[in-house]
């Protein structure tokens, strides 16, 4: 499974890998990037070929919900949803659609 990159609501890039979410810590040389889990101290390094090496263990289970929300946000952006609709409202509706 390769890494996917998404954009959070505040415009920051996030790494999604095996259903764990990571926020960017720093960029390394040669196109690799250093990430830290949003919920634990686990870190990961991504390479320009989208391979990911995870260090340390997560102290929690993968969060499919977080991943779904991020994917919803990405899909909405692609569709060019009317920006005047509050994003929270859109996510809430889409989230209900998933769970029903």
Residues between 39 and 58 with contacts to Zn ion, criterion CB under 5 A: 39-40, 42, 58
List all residues 6 or more positions away from 77 whose beta carbon is below 8 Å from its beta carbon: 7
CB of 93 to Zn ion, least distance (A): 28
The residue among 25 and 77 lying less far from Zn ion, judged by its C-beta, is: 25
List all residues 6 or more positions away from 33 whose beta carbon is below 8 Å from its beta carbon: 15, 24, 26, 27, 45, 46
Would you count residue 24 as binding Zn ion (CB under 5 A)? no
The residue among 5 and 39 lying less far from Zn ion, judged by its C-beta, is: 39
CB of 72 to Zn ion, least distance (A): 21
Computed from CA positions of residues 64, 65, 69, 72, in that sequence, does the dihedral angle turn out positive or negative? positive
Interaction site with Zn ion (CB under 5 A): 37, 39-40, 42, 58
């Amino acid at each position: 499974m390769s890494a996917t990159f998404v954009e959070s609501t505040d415009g920051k890039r996030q790494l999604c890998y095996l259903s764990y979410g990571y926020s960017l810590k720093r960029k390394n040389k040669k196109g690799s990037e250093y990430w830290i889990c949003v919920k634990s101290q686990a870190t990961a390094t991504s390479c320009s070929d989208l391979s990911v090496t995870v260090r340390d263990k997560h102290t929690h289970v993968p969060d499919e919900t977080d991943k779904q929300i991020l994917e919803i946000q990405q899909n909405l952006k692609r569709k060019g949803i009317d920006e005047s609709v509050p994003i929270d409202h859109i996510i809430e509706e889409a989230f209900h659609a998933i769970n029903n």
